[in-house]
Amino acid sequence: MQRKYYSLLLLLIPVFIFNACQNDEYSIPEAKTELQNDCILRSLGPNVVGLNIEFVYAMALGSNIGKINSAQVEATIAGASGTYLENRSFRTNSSGVDTPYTIGNPSSTTGTKTVVTFTKDTCAAALRYYYYIPEEARGKTVSFTFSAKASTGEEVSYEMGPYTIAKMDMKLSLVLSDNNLCYFSVADMIAYTAAEAATKADKIDLVYLYRSITGITFAHALASPANTEYLPGITLPSGVGNSTKFWKVYGLRDRHLANLQYGIYVDDIDFQELDLTSAPNYGINMKAESGAWVETSDGKYRAYIYVNSVNNTAKTMTVSIKRYQMK
């Protein structure tokens, strides 16, 4: 009986081997000749009003079949001024450099549609699309339909999105100066002089000052008007007295705020989940590339202030800010 099983097993083994060694026939696949398209998103990070969302839209058809007539992008919300579709196709050369080839006229935008009409006999192109995020898209989602038409009458399209547009605002490179533009308003994202601050006392959230005090490290500071302990030598304009929560941070170098350096992004969710219950209302010895989470005294705004640079001689601090409205 056992020998019977062995014989059966021996018979099965060659069958397996025979099957395993079977050659699969291979032939070089033929390129499709009909009009095709593809799209990728190039930009990273949160989509902030005023910045752009960048795509690359690629389209191609068989070289002897016909040529591409036009490419179009339609957004669900019309882009802000500056939105365009490249009229140059880029390819990366052997040195890693993007080399452009003009394929048509500069794009024209009407409402939500941006179109490039091809003037060169082109069967393949990769066009970049820059959608400048408009104010009306804040807090909404936006989607895109990329499409291309060929001389063969074919038409293809590619859907991208939806992409969420951040609610937060952003302002870059605000210069604060000691004893001059030192009254900072988170609500306005502007630094005021003492005279200006007196006219909008309720909007002044922080005071910038630079002090070189022997025996302690004070240097560049941002303090709430309510905390005069950290405002030596400053006489506040009448009515200025807000207490702003201020949480010092080091190493959070937001790419948007740090002039496209580093790879961290502060996004809406960071503000939503921020807990500044136990935060103080001042920060002294602020250094370049440090920052602070901030919450205004009325709780209306939360912000992240990033210190781009400080200048001890000029007694200035350059900051960039992302601000989120809570109420």
Partner 1 sequence: MKKYIIITTALLFSALVWTGCSDFPVDEDGLLITTRSQCYVSNFELLGPDYQTVRTKAAVIDTTAQTINVEVLYGTDLKNLRPQFNLITDAKIEPKVIGFVDFSDLTNPKKWTVISGNRKVNKTYTVYVTVQVKP
The dihedral over CA atoms of 177, 178, 181, 183, expressed in degrees to the nearest 10, equals 120
Report in angstroms how near the CB of residue 298 gets to partner 1 at its nearest.
Answer: 22
Per rule CB under 8 A, count of chain residues that contact partner 1: 20
Rounded distance, CA 180 to CA 287, Å?
20
* Contact region with partner 1 (CB under 8 A), list: 19-27, 37-45, 278-286, 299-307: 278-286
Which listed range, 121-129, 131-139, 147-155, 215-223, lies at the site for partner 1 (CB under 8 A)? 215-223
- The residue among 153 and 233 lying less far from partner 1, judged by its C-beta, is 233
Are 31 and 104 a contacting pair, CB within 8 Å? no
Q: Which two tokens stand for residue 133?
A: 């995020």
Contact range with partner 1 by CB under 8 A, out of 45-53, 83-91, 118-126, 244-252: 244-252
Q: Residue 179, CB half-sphere, CA atoms under 13 Å: how many?
A: 7
Instruction: For the CB of residue 82, give the shortest distance to partner 1 in the complex, in Å.
Output: 37
CA distances 261 to 42, 155, 164, Å, are 17, 40, 23
Q: Does 303 bind partner 1 (CB under 8 A)?
A: no
Instruction: Kindly tell me which of 110 and 214 has the beta carbon lying closer to partner 1.
Output: 214
Sign of CA dihedral 239, 243, 248, 253: negative
For the bound state, the minimum distance from the C-beta of residue 7 to partner 1, rounded and expressed in Å, comes to 35
Q: How many helices (H) and strands (E) are present in the chain, helices listed first? A: 3, 20
Distance CA 146, CA 307 (A): 39
- Three-state DSSP at 15 gives helix
Task: Select the span of 23-31, 170-178, 186-194, 284-292 touching partner 1 (CB under 8 A).
Answer: 284-292
Among 96, 233, 251, 263, binds partner 1 (CB under 8 A): 251
Nearer to partner 1, 247 or 262 (CB): 247
Binding site for partner 1 (CB under 8 A): 213-218, 221, 230, 247-251, 278-280, 282, 284-285, 290
